[in-house]
Structure 1
C-alpha cells in the first residue's frame, strides 16, 4: 500500500527501544496490572529513563527537546501491543504540554524535570460527575481568599488519578458569567489537605489504566499555582492542547486497528473450516481487503495531520475529524475481525477480544464523537 515517510533512522531506533521495553518490562506483567487496576510506579521511572515520558519537553526542563514524532511512536507502539495500562503516559505528555507551553518559569522548573523522569505522575482533571464534554458547565470552583484559592468540587474518570502526584485542575475562578473567561487551570499537589481519591473505578475495559474520582474539599493553594500566573486563561489553554490530544487518540486507534487486522490475518491463515483456511473463502478475503484499505486511508490522513502538527498548523476540525473517523474505524475493524475468529474471538486469550473491550472508549474520551461532528459541522 502507501509507504509512510514520516520517520527516519533515528525514529526507528527509538521505536525499537520502545518495543523492547514493552515486550520485556510490560507485556508479561500486564495481566497482573489489570488485577491491580494500575501500573507500578517503577515502570514510569523506567520509561522516563528511556525518554518515553515528555520527549517534547525542552532539555532545559529535563526532557529530550524532541518533536511530537517521538511521542507518536510511543503512542503507536503502546496501542499496537495493546498495553493499555500505559495509556496514562499520554496524559503525562498532555499535562507536560500545558506546563511547558503556558506555565511560568517557576512552574516549569518545579514540575517538568520530575515528570520527564517519571518521579512525578500527573493527572488532568477536567470531567465532572454531571459534566462531560461541555467544559464551560463545570461546577468545581476556586474562590480567591487573600493570596490563596480555596477549591471545592469533584472530578471523575480521571486517568492516573490513583498514582498522581500533581493534578492539572480545571476550575472556575471568575464570576463574569461569560463562561470560558471564568475558567482557569490550577496546579494542585495530590497530597494537599482536602484532596481525596476514590478507589479505582471498575470499567468495561482498560482495566490496567488507573482511573479514579478526585474530590476537593476546601483545598487551599497559593495564587501562583494558576497555570501561567494569570486566571481566566484556562479555556484558551485547553483549546490549544486539545487538538494534539485528539490526534493522539486517532494515532492510537489506527495502530490498534492495524494490530487487530494483523492478528486476524494470521488467525484466518491458520484456522481451517470445511477443510481449508478461513482466509481462502472469498467472503473472508474481501472483508480483510476492505479493512486493510480503510486502515491505510486512515493512516495516511493521520500522518498528514501529524505533518501539520509539526508545522503548528493542525486545526481543531482536522484533529476532530481524525479522532472521530479513526476511532469509529477501530471499533469497526475489531467487530469484523472478532466475527472472523468465531467463538475464539470472545476468549480473552486472543488479542482481538482484549481490543474489543478496550477500543470502545476511544469514541468517548477526548470528546465524544458526536461532539467531534459538531465541531466539524461548525466549519461548513
Structure 2
C-alpha cells in the first residue's frame, strides 16, 4: 500500500500499526471471550489521543486527515474489530457535532470527547428500523420548556460503556438527532450478549422512558436528521468500516499465508497446491484493490469532492464483501487450526459477517450506488427523452 501514500502518510501508517500492535495484539482473544473491552484499553485510546483523532485541534483533538484516520482504522482492524468499533462510533458522534453541532454543543462536548472523559455512541437501530430509518418509533415530544424522549434502541455499539448517546427520533416536525446523557433517570441500558461477531463491542439495548432533555440537546433542526445529519455520520462510519475491513483482511492473509507455507499435504507444502494458490492469490489481489478504493475514498473526503459519498460507498461495498469471502477461505485453507477460537482467523471470520451488515448491507449500498453508477456509465446525454429515465432509485 505504501505506493498509494505520501512519505508522511506511510510513516504515520507504520507508527499506528506498531503502536496498536505492540500494545494489544496479544489481548484481543481475551476481550472476545469476556465480551468486553477492558477499561484500561479505553484509557489507553484516550491517552494516545485516538478518541480525538477526528476532532479539530481547537477542541483538543488531533485533527487528523481522512487518510490518516483511515490508516488508524486499518491498524485497529488488524488487532480487533471491536477495538476499532469503539473509536468509530465515538468518532461518528464527534464528527456530527464538529459539522452540525451548535456553538454551545461544540464548546461543551468536543473537549470531553477528545480527551475521552466522555465516550459516545450512536443509537439508531430498532426492532423494525434498520436500513429503513423511516420506521423509527422512538419519539421526541415537546413538554413544557423541555422535550421528552421515549423509545427502545437495539444493537447500540458500546452502548454498555457510553456516557453520551446520539439518538435518532421522530417528531411532529420530522426526524431529529438529540443528545442523551447516561445519567438521565429515564434511561435503562441492558447488555446484548452472544452475538456472532464484535463480541467485545459491548452492544446494548437502550430504553428511554420519559427521558427529559433540554431543547439545546437537539442537534440541528427538525427534519434535518434524515437528510443531513445521519448521512454525515454514516459516511464517517462507512469510511471507517471499509478501512477496518482492509486491516482485518490483511491479518487474515497473514495468518493464512503462514499456515500454508508451513503445512504439508500429499507430499507437498500446501502453498504448492493449485487450490490453495487460488485462495491466496485472490485474497492478495482483492486486498490491494480494497486498499486502493479506501485511499481513493479518503482523498475524496479530504478534498470535499462531490463524488466522495459514492467513493466511500464503493470502498465499503467492496472491502466488506471481499473480507467476508476471503475470511471464510482463510479458515478453509487453515483447516482445524483456522477454526480454533484462539486463532485470529476464526474471529475475523465471525466479525466479517457483522462488518458486511453494519453501516449498510450490500443490498442497501447497491440501492444507493446503482443510480449513480448507471447514469455515470451511460454518459451525459442520458435523460434526454431516452428510455429508462424514470429510474430515480426510489424506494420500492
TM-score tier, shorter chain, comes to over 0.9
Shifted more, 274-283 versus 210-219: the winner is 274-283
Aligned pairs (5 A) from 1:175-186: 175=173, 182-186=174-178
Shifted more, 26-35 versus 293-302: the winner is 26-35
Partner-residue secondary structure (3-state), 1:168: strand
Q: CA deviation at 1:83?
A: 5.2
User: Is it true that 1:316 corresponds to 2:309 in the alignment?
Assistant: yes
Q: CA deviation at 1:48?
A: 1.9
- The corresponding residue for 1:233 is 224
8 Å contact kept, 1:41–1:163: no
Aligned counterpart in structure 2 of residue 346 of structure 1, from 339, 344, 354: 339
Task: Work out the CA distance in 1 between the residues paired with 2:297 and 2:60.
Answer: 28
- The corresponding residue for 2:322 is 329
Q: Between Structure 1 and Structure 2, how many residues are aligned?
A: 371
Task: Work out the CA distance in 2 between the residues paired with 1:83 and 1:372.
Answer: 21
Task: Work out the CA distance in 1 between the residues paired with 2:100 and 2:356.
Answer: 28
Change in Cα spacing, 1:83 to 1:138, as seen in structure 2 (3 Å) is closer
Task: Work out the CA distance in 2 between the residues paired with 1:297 and 1:14.
Answer: 21
Change in Cα spacing, 1:251 to 1:149, as seen in structure 2 (3 Å) is same
Task: Work out the CA distance in 2 between the residues paired with 1:120 and 1:16.
Answer: 28
Task: Work out the CA distance in 2 between the residues paired with 1:87 and 1:18.
Answer: 16
- The corresponding residue for 1:255 is 247
8 Å contact kept, 2:188–2:206: yes
- The corresponding residue for 1:294 is 286
8 Å contact kept, 1:153–1:216: yes
User: Is it true that 1:144 corresponds to 2:142 in the alignment?
Assistant: yes
Aligned counterpart in structure 1 of residue 200 of structure 2, from 177, 198, 208: 208
Query: How large is the RMSD of aligned CA atoms in angstroms?
Result: 1.8
Shifted more, 93-102 versus 51-60: the winner is 51-60
TM-score (norm 1): 0.92
Partner-residue secondary structure (3-state), 1:209: coil
- The corresponding residue for 2:91 is 93
Shifted more, 123-132 versus 271-280: the winner is 271-280
8 Å contact kept, 1:38–1:85: no
User: Is it true that 1:191 corresponds to 2:190 in the alignment?
Assistant: no
8 Å contact kept, 1:138–1:172: yes
- The corresponding residue for 2:393 is none
- The corresponding residue for 2:259 is 267
User: Is it true that 1:121 corresponds to 2:122 in the alignment?
Assistant: no
Partner-residue secondary structure (3-state), 2:155: strand
Task: Work out the CA distance in 2 between the residues paired with 1:30 and 1:190.
Answer: 27
User: Is it true that 1:6 corresponds to 2:15 in the alignment?
Assistant: no
8 Å contact kept, 2:149–2:209: yes
- The corresponding residue for 1:359 is 352
- The corresponding residue for 1:179 is none
8 Å contact kept, 2:293–2:311: no
Partner-residue secondary structure (3-state), 2:50: coil
Q: CA deviation at 1:280?
A: 1.4
Shifted more, 98-107 versus 19-28: the winner is 19-28
Aligned pairs (5 A) from 1:272-291: 272-291=264-283
TM-score (norm 2): 0.88
Aligned counterpart in structure 2 of residue 22 of structure 1, from 7, 11, 20: 20
Aligned counterpart in structure 2 of residue 373 of structure 1, from 363, 366, 369: 366
8 Å contact kept, 1:174–1:232: no
Shifted more, 257-266 versus 17-26: the winner is 17-26
Shifted more, 62-71 versus 135-144: the winner is 62-71
Aligned pairs (5 A) from 1:58-77: 58-77=56-75
Query: For structure 1, which runs of at least 5 residues remain unmatched after alignment?
Result: 176-181
Change in Cα spacing, 1:188 to 1:206, as seen in structure 2 (3 Å) is same
Change in Cα spacing, 1:320 to 1:23, as seen in structure 2 (3 Å) is closer
